[in-house]
Amino acid sequence: MKRLIIFLLCLMLISASTVALSDTEKNEIANQQSKSLTKKNTADAQTDEKDVIIIGGGKYIFNETETGLIFIGPENDNIKNLIIRGGLFCNGNFYSIVEIQEEACQGLKKLTSVTIDKTVKRIGKEAFKDCKALKKITVECTKLGSIGEEAFKNINKKATFIIVTEKQKVFEKYKKMLLAAGAPKKAKFKSRTYIIV
């Protein structure tokens, strides 16, 4: 039964496609997650494969404390263009993506671009460390509160960060956070006011 539930969830698309689960199915998944998640540090949670939800090529787990999802890595480690965007509709609640887990994409050799959804509030430490081909990072976040240490250390030296915002203060804040998280000193930072979907 559990395998069937996960299979059905795998059919979702990244463009905010939704899947409706019964109360019983939703509670079963949530109860499994609550055993491994803590309120203080969800990034350190140990996750069993049976708890993982696949959405648009990305692997996610529930963060019940925020009614959100945590991105824990791509389904395929050979991915080149990664889009962390979308969500899951369960039992009357929409679970948006609120966090990128620590080391989620660390060392992915073929990753060249990543887009981070507007709903993401935290990027874990070393999330994209050693992704040496990573050249384009689009940050759509509107309430990005923290970026962990070395999250962007050792990515491509000529990387370009595109920060989607209309506010110069937000642009400068995010730029400072990205540099502190290991973004290359020679990286380019650009501002954009629209989201490409």
Q: What is the pTM of this model?
A: 0.75
**Tens of pLDDT, residues 39-54:** 323 333 344 555 899 9
CATH code of the domain in which 123 resides: 3.80.10.10
User: CA 141 to CA 128: how far, in whole Å?
Assistant: 16
**Residue 49 pLDDT:** 55
Is-contact 164 118, C-beta < 8 A? yes
Q: Report the number of distinct structural domains present in the chain.
A: 1
Q: Is 54 part of any domain?
A: yes
**Residue 6 pLDDT:** 40
Q: How far is CA 39 from CA 33, 35, 44, 63, 156, in A?
A: 12, 11, 11, 9, 34
User: Strand 146-147 vs strand 122-123: parallel, antiparallel, or unpaired?
Assistant: parallel
**Residue 131 pLDDT:** 98
Q: What's the number of CA atoms in the CB half-sphere (13 Å) around residue 15?
A: 3
Q: Is 45 part of any domain?
A: no
Q: For each of the chain's 197 residues, which pLDDT tens digit applies?
A: 444 344 334 433 333 333 444 444 444 544 444 333 323 233 333 445 558 999 988 999 998 788 899 999 999 999 999 999 999 888 888 999 999 999 999 999 999 999 999 999 999 999 999 999 999 999 999 999 999 999 999 999 999 999 999 999 999 999 999 999 999 999 999 999 887 76
Domain range enclosing 133:
2-36+50-192
**Tens of pLDDT, residues 70-84:** 999 999 999 999 999
**Residue 121 pLDDT:** 97
Q: What's the number of CA atoms in the CB half-sphere (13 Å) around residue 31?
A: 7
Is-contact 10 54, C-beta < 8 A? yes
SS3 breakdown of the chain: % helix, strand, coil, rounded to 5? Answer: 20, 25, 50
Q: How far is CA 58 from CA 69, 94, 97, in A?
A: 11, 17, 11
Q: Is 113 part of any domain?
A: yes
Q: Is 183 part of any domain?
A: yes
